[in-house]
Amino acid sequence: MKKILIIFAHPAINKSRIHRRLTDSVKNMPGISLNNLYEKYPDFYIDIIQEQQLLIEHDIIVWQHPFYWFSAPAILKEWFDLVLQHGFAYGEKGHSLEGKQVLSVISTGGNNDVYSKKGRNHYTINEFLVPFKQSASLCRMEYLPPYVIFGSHTITPAEIEVQTSKYKKMLTSLRDNQWGCLLLQSVEYLNELTN
């Protein structure tokens, strides 16, 4: 069983319909650790050593957040800037994360059609997530396809429960190594493997 660390960033979790439900559903799952950055660091003073130790102790890293302004909430960027240091995560001597798997779990206000070449946003989710993919590459990590919940503004409570179930299935499948490398890299979104 692999150990999964969810690096979670949501500045208004009390208003969240989706992420609050997702994170509540996995709090007691074996092999899964939830690291809520806004709860842990309300002053933004991130404990770099502790965060690096958490990364070392886990096999799969999940960057989970709402997709704000085509990126992540501010504290996750701060976490990247401080925790993924030269000599730890990258550089000649920075091999601490080498070989670990990493993925993005995000929610978007728009639907899938909005995130396409012909859609209102002109780019796909995977194109918007290139900085995350490149960060993983620099750290010698294997970047997996993202898990995306589209249409967060219009999703019904019943659909949230379906997404919660699929999210748990996705994490369980990764934790238990049920999907091979070729299968993981054959899909645009990990959602496709949870149907």
Provide the token pair at 45: 């003073």
pLDDT in tens, 137-179: 999 999 999 999 998 888 999 999 999 999 999 999 999 999 9
Q: Is pTM, for the whole model, over 0.85?
A: yes
> Is 80 exceeded by the pLDDT of residue 194?
yes
Residues recognised as catalytic: 109, 115, 122
110 pLDDT exceeds 90? no
* φ and ψ of 88, to 5 deg: -110, -60
191 by DSSP, 3-state: which?
Answer: helix
Domains, the chain, with CATH or none: 4-193 (3.40.50.360)
Mean pLDDT of 36-56: 97
Percent of the chain at pLDDT > 70 equals 100
Residue 111 confidence (pLDDT): 77
Q: How far apart are the first and last CA of the chain?
A: 22
Parallel/antiparallel/unpaired status of strands 147-149 and 101-107: parallel
Task: Render 9-35 in DSSP notation, one character per residue.
Answer: --TTGGG-SSHHHHHHHHTT-TTEEEE
Pairwise pLDDT comparison (116 vs 48), residue with the higher score = 48
Mean pLDDT of the chain: 94
